[in-house]
A and B are shown apart, each in its own frame.
Chain A
Amino acid sequence: MTDSDVVIRVEGLGKSYALHHETSERYTALRDQMARQAKAAGRLLNPFTLAGQLRKAQRQTTEASEEEFWALKDVSFEIRRGERVGIIGRNGAGKSTLLKILSRITEPTTGRVEIRGRVASLLEVGTGFHPELTGRENIYLNGAILGMTRREIRAKFEEIVDFAEVEKFLDTPVKRYSSGMYVRLAFAVAAHLEPEILVVDEVLAVGDASFQKKCLGKMEDVSDKNKRTVLFVSHNMAAIKRLCDYCLLLADGRLSLQESSEKAISAYNNQNLMPRQELEKRSDREGSGLAKFCNAEISQVESNANIVQAGIAAHISILIKPSSSFGEKERKAKISIGIDNSEGQRITHLSTESLGAVFKVNPGPHPTKLNFIWDPFPLIPGTYSVTLFLQISEDVSDWVIDAFRFEVIETDFYGSGKLPPTGQGLFYPLYSIK
């Protein structure tokens, strides 16, 4: 590998946003601006204004305007021709900002980026599509938006239509397309652009499993055969693992790791699963506090806490600590566990009450332990968030949303030697065929 293989070189890249633009409304009303200036002027004109107050006022205005948020800070890396690179990190880690800078939508605040070749981003579903225009017209429109010339589009037209499987609907306005057709067409146009650098941002979240597979295949193709570089942002670790040679892991706007996909993903999982704070010390909770959750996790035999796989038993163990006002006697309690997927959808719910189980919290300084045994564990791969709820004698004692998170990794659930398809439902049912 020589220097000439480098297609993206990023040095000390940073991007800051002024925070007052990022409040509830992003655009300002002129009135606010004028009011602010009038206020400042008023302070100056007021004959009773003391010099000290004036200085204070000035300091306040400068402080307010200097309040900034670094979405990216001091990021440096190099990417070579033909590499497929995953960019991962929690929401708000700076992934989108990095992509926006690389695709020139926004300017960096500090540092520099050198790019060799055209950068094209695979847009969100149908960005740049006009609903009133037909599929055919939108291919030209979208191609031009992505930087293709009409001649290039014409040359690739048949291929694009074939790939998207929309021949029959070419002259139908895309507003009558199903969302699947929409995505297919959008991806097809971008995939045939053949840029030197293709940026793919979470676009595969939609579309059915077979099309996702086709897209991944196309991206592999593009980078293997034509030596194109692919930057792939996703929360879908299975796709990242399959596609990417290595990953950049971002955390709070900084590049925290540049490693093989496997290592980066496990670092990401650890980072993602690491509670922001110990459960016991969290203050974002509700309830009387008579007794509180002090620890909770999900585990399996021979696995790290909070990383599990489907098909075998999982244990959710919960520790509950009584407060000083709890009293001397044990008390009956009800516990519920809500499980949400990464899209915030409640997947399922476990509770002592549903099973008719009686559970008592013991008094005294030592926490009471409770184990939910979930066998076999059925959830599909992904990141999940757990909400805990404790009720003692009809009063809410403790209620913690997003108490902890866990990751379900891919597995051969049915023992058939194949991974079950992804993107098909939320859990694996137990069934047999006769």
Chain B
Amino acid sequence: MSAAISARRSNTSRDPRQQWLLLEPNRIEKQYWKDLWRYRELFVILAWRDIAVRYKQTFIGVAWALIRPFLTMVVFTVVFGRLAKLPTEGEAPYAILVFAAMLPWQFFSTALSSCSDSLISNANLLTKVYFPRLIVPAAAVIASFVDFLISFIILAGLMLWFQWWPSWRLLTLPLWVSVAFAASMGIGLWLASLNVQYRDFRYVVPFLVQFGLYVSPVGFSSAIVPANWQLLYAINPMVGVIEGFRWAIIGQGALINPLGFWLSMGITALLLFTGIRQFRRMEKRFADVI
């Protein structure tokens, strides 16, 4: 009977005010993606809220988005470039090599932290109002994305300072940005949904971010990783992202290990896909267990 009724009713009108909504066990599945589109304004506003709130009641405000990556870049350049005397890629100044990696890394780490915390810090919303829950972690990632865009100013500054002119490859940057996006979203969704059930993951994330900084080629070039370790190394999805960024920004002389690169990309895609699936599977119980 249910099928017949819902079929008849869904035909009556496209106006949400007239449409019948059917709630049944395991029913949400079917209208989820439609709802996601219907709630797009909420997504925009939540992202805007996270951005607006970020630097409220701070003295120097948005400047924090510049200072943090800049100082880290300086330290890395001095430690890895000057003290450890690690090789750069091609002719690129070491500072640019570092910053080309620092950009996606900072984005990834802030996005991952805020994404995995997002459900818990919005618990009051989850238990009071309905909306597709995917909106919350996605908005958190977008908010970190704004910091990321701001720190491009530093890159521009560095390039001017070192008189380093980009090639046509810079135009491929949006592609690498979207890969970085997918990587942080994929892992973030896993962590966010697990965090609701097991608060252990609250402690895993800072560790993961710190650990990741050492196993990703942020302060050094991928080239110094021994050849027989390259594949294992490339399991880290950020390896592919960072190499992509360097390839686009440094241009001539940037090194990409093709096999490792595609492995990285594949793992990113896998993480995103399973992350969404995991999130969707646990989503129904969020309001009950959070």
Contacts and interface: CB of A to CB of B under 8 A. Distances in A.
B197 A124 contact: no
Interface in A99-140: 100-119, 121, 123-124, 127-128, 130, 132-133, 137, 140
A161 B46 CA distance: 22
A111 B23 CA distance: 9
A21 B289 contact: yes
A196 interface: yes
Interface string B7-33: 000000000111111111111100000
A26 to B, nearest CB: 6
Q: Would you call the interface of chain B mostly helix, strand, loop, or mixed?
A: mixed
A141 interface: yes
A1 interface: no
Chain B, interface residues (CB within 8 Å), range: 35 or more
Given A114-B21, A116-B18, A133 B49 contact: yes
Contacts of B127: 100, 105
A interface residue count range (under 10 / 10 to 19 / 20 to 34 / 35 or more): 35 or more
Contact of A27 (B2, B26, B198, B284): B198
Contact of B22 (A114, A132, A140): A114
B23 A127 contact: no
B208 to A, nearest CB: 15
Interface in A137-183: 137, 140-141, 144-147, 149-150, 173
Contacts of A127: 124-125, 128-129
B288 A29 contact: no
Given A29-B200, A128-B128, A130-B53, A115 B21 contact: yes
Interface in B52-91: 52-53, 56-57
16 contacts: A21-B288, A21-B289, A105-B129, A107-B25, A112-B2, A113-B23, A114-B20, A115-B21, A123-B128, A128-B125, A130-B49, A132-B53, A132-B56, A132-B57, A141-B45, A147-B42
4 tightest CB-CB pairs across the interface, nearest first?
A: A104-B130, A113-B23, A144-B45, A30-B198
Given A28-B197, A112-B24, A119-B130, 14 more contacts: A26-B289, A29-B200, A31-B200, A33-B198, A104-B28, A106-B284, A107-B23, A107-B284, A114-B23, A118-B17, A127-B125, A133-B53, A144-B44, A144-B45
Interface of A: 17, 21, 26-31, 33, 100-119, 121, 123-124, 127-128, 130, 132-133, 137, 140-141, 144-147, 149-150, 173, 196
